[in-house]
């Protein structure tokens, strides 16, 4: 008996007819329904700022290769009030981006050592240490530290 | 001994008479050690026999009583009433059609679970006389976490990707594929690859991570999926090397 015929037969017997209800999901605002989805969107959006900042740096390299006037023009642009504001925003979003991915590393990279799973916090901690060391190295290289 | 009275707001849907779901409020006298499932059982036994929901073990083993409590995916047997104040809103798991009240239609998940071959595929079949397939404690630890899944479907409810793209195989089924792929006694990885490495498989996951946050057994399906992505990417790239499949 087909399922439709079965249902019709059940209905005749006074039994229940199946009519599953599908709740609609908004394709444009689903992430507003829970804080965990908002956090996800935040660290996804943060990648845009990271990408734009990377493009600005690459443009800077090309400007450097184009001569002193072009380089000075790039420097003036990034040190203008809007340039500084963007750099600050990019810095904040970079931290959001980096910390979100550091947190995710132990999930994507599960390590076994000596028959035991390496604790996630150790893996995350190593990332922060490397981050600090590299940052310090860059600051020393830039003559800031 | 009743120590307080709570209000439950339960999403009702009776297909034979309701056009769409609606919230019904029940006032329930509850005891200190009660969980949400106890309160629902009280409603069913004493107030409204027509209320439908799934449950079985009442002890955090069977995974039947998954529901959304105050907007969070929970097992009804693990959600203590003492942890809630005010009206408690109970809804069926999200992203699944509602069969009736808190009961969802699970067919899509069952099909997807079957598609990833969630069972041991050994190199050579052994008869009972030949004994068991052995492995070391370390080999067990490699996949044990992923074997704790009890198919409660909280992860599917929390996964926006599954809600938006219903073809996605989803967290629990992929975590179970990973569980068998990483089992030393199993050689079925290539048999599972067609489903796991497909677009509807791991690549449909955008790593929101909600599945792992709501998992009551700490299976970490999101982690399993990212590891499957890695092995699937390695497979793809090595297939272009000399002697590869392409």
Residue A65 sits in a domain whose CATH number is 1.20.1300.10
Best residue of A28, A39, A97, A108 to probe chain B, by most B CBs closer than 10 Å: A108
- What is the number of domains present in chain A? 2
> Cβ contact (<8 Å) for B160 and A104?
no
pLDDT at B229: 95
The CA distance from A98 to the nearest CA of chain B, in Å, is 15
Contact B2, B81 (CB under 8 A): no
Regarding whether A83 and A35 lie in a shared domain, the answer is yes
Among A112-116, B138-142, B182-186, the least confident range: A112-116
The residue range of the domain holding A88 is: 31-93
pLDDT at B43: 98
Contact B154, B75 (CB under 8 A): yes
Check pLDDT > 70 for residue A11. Answer: no
B222 vs B54: CA distance, rounded Å: 26
pLDDT at A13: 55
Phi and psi, residue B102, nearest 5°: -95, 5
Regarding whether A122 and A85 lie in a shared domain, the answer is no
B81 to B4, B46, B51, B101, B108: CA distances (angstroms): 10, 18, 19, 21, 32
Regarding whether B127 and B186 lie in a shared domain, the answer is yes
Regarding whether B92 and B131 lie in a shared domain, the answer is no
- What is the number of domains present in chain B? 2
Q: pLDDT per residue over B25-39, tens digit each?
A: 999 999 999 999 999
Regarding whether B141 and B95 lie in a shared domain, the answer is no
Report helix, strand and coil shares of chain B as percent, to nearest 5.
Answer: 40, 15, 45
B219 to A1, B51, B85, B215: CA distances (angstroms): 41, 31, 29, 6
ipTM of the complex: 0.89
pLDDT at A115: 87
pTM for the predicted model, two decimal places: 0.90
Among the partner-chain residues B71, B160, B207, the one whose CB lies closest to the CB of A30 is: B160
Q: pLDDT per residue over B194-233, tens digit each?
A: 888 888 999 999 999 999 999 999 999 999 999 999 999 9
Regarding whether B153 and B75 lie in a shared domain, the answer is no
CA angle A88, A92, A93 (to 5 degrees): 115
Check pLDDT > 90 for residue B236. Answer: no
* Structure token pair of residue A102: 């550091």
Residue B246 domain-assigned (yes or no): no
pLDDT at B30: 94
pLDDT at B239: 86
pLDDT at B218: 96
Q: Hey, which residues 188-207 in chain B have their CB within 8 Å of chain A?
A: 207
Q: pLDDT per residue over A32-51, tens digit each?
A: 999 999 999 999 999 999 99
Q: pLDDT per residue over A66-100, tens digit each?
A: 999 999 999 999 999 999 999 999 999 999 999 99
Regarding whether A70 and A43 lie in a shared domain, the answer is yes
* Structure token pair of residue B197: 């490495």
Q: Are strands B72-75 and B4-12 parallel, antiparallel or unpaired?
A: unpaired
pLDDT at A7: 53
B1 vs A98: CA distance, rounded Å: 52
Q: Which residue of A has its CA nearest to B229?
A: A108
A104 vs B207: CA distance, rounded Å: 9
The CATH number of the domain holding residue B40 is 3.10.20.30
B115 vs B203: CA distance, rounded Å: 16
Q: List chain B residues with CB under 8 Å of A108.
A: 223, 226-227, 229-230
Check pLDDT > 60 for residue B140. Answer: yes
Of the pLDDT bands very low, low, confident and very high (cuts 50, 70, 90), residue A1 is very low
The CA distance from A127 to the nearest CA of chain B, in Å, is 18
Q: pLDDT per residue over B38-86, tens digit each?
A: 999 999 999 999 999 999 999 999 999 999 999 999 999 999 999 999 9
A133 vs B230: CA distance, rounded Å: 28
Q: pLDDT per residue over B83-117, tens digit each?
A: 999 999 999 999 999 999 999 999 999 999 999 99
Going through A8-124 in order, the beta strands assigned E by DSSP cover 112-113, 116-117
Among B46, B70, B104, the domain-final residue is B104
Residue B59 domain-assigned (yes or no): yes
Among B89, B104, B119, the domain-final residue is B104
The residue range of the domain holding B168 is: 107-238
* Structure token pair of residue A56: 């600005």
Contact of A108 with chain B, judged by CB distance below 8 Å, is answered with yes
Residue B245 domain-assigned (yes or no): no
Mean pLDDT across chain A, nearest whole number?
Answer: 90
pLDDT at A145: 73
Among the partner-chain residues B13, B137, B212, the one whose CB lies closest to the CB of A107 is: B212
Q: List chain A residues with CB under 8 Å of B20.
A: 21
Regarding whether B78 and B8 lie in a shared domain, the answer is yes
- Tokens 């999101």 identify what position? B222
B204 vs B161: CA distance, rounded Å: 7
Contact B193, B169 (CB under 8 A): no
């Amino acid at each position: 008996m087909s399922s439709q015929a079965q249902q019709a037969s059940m209905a005749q017997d006074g039994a229940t007819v199946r009519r599953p209800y599908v709740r609609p999901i908004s394709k444009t605002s689903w992430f507003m329904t829970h804080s965990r989805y908002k956090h996800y969107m935040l660290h996804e959006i943060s990648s845009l700022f990271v990408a734009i900042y990377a493009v600005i740096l690459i443009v800077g390299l090309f400007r450097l290769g184009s001569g002193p006037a072009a380089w000075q023009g790039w420097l003036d642009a990034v040190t203008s009030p809007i340039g500084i504001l963007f750099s600050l925003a990019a810095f904040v979003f970079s931290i959001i981006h980096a910390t979100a991915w550091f947190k995710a590393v132990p999930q994507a990279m599960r390590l076994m050592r000596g028959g035991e799973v390496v604790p996630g916090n150790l893996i995350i901690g190593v990332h922060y240490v490397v981050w600090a060391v590299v940052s310090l190295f860059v600051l020393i290289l830039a003559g800031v530290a | 001994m009743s120590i307080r009275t709570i209000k439950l707001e339960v999403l009702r849907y009776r297909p034979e008479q309701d056009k769409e779901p609606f919230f019904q409020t029940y006032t329930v006298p509850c005891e200190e050690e009660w969980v949400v499932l106890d309160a629902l059982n009280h409603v069913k036994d004493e107030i409204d026999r027509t209320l439908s929901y799934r449950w079985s073990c009442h002890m955090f083993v069977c995974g039947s009583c998954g529901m959304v409590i105050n907007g969070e995916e929970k097992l009804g047997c693990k959600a203590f009433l003492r942890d809630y104040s005010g009206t408690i809103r109970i809804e069926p798991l999200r992203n699944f059609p509602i069969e009736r009240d808190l009961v969802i239609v699970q067919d899509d998940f069952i099909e997807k679970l079957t598609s990833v071959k969630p069972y041991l595929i050994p190199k050579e079949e052994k008869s009972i006389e030949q004994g068991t397939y052995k492995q070391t404690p370390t080999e067990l630890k490699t996949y044990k976490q992923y074997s704790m899944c009890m198919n409660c479907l909280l992860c599917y409810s929390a996964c926006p990707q599954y809600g938006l793209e219903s073809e996605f195989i989803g967290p629990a089924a992929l975590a179970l594929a990973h569980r068998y792929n990483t089992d030393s006694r199993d050689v079925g990885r290539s048999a599972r690859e067609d489903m796991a490495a497909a677009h509807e498989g791991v690549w449909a996951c955008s790593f929101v991570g909600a599945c792992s946050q709501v998992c009551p057994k700490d299976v970490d399906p999101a982690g399993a999926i990212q590891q499957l992505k890695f092995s699937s990417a390695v497979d793809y790239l090595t297939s272009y090397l000399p002697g590869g499949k392409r």
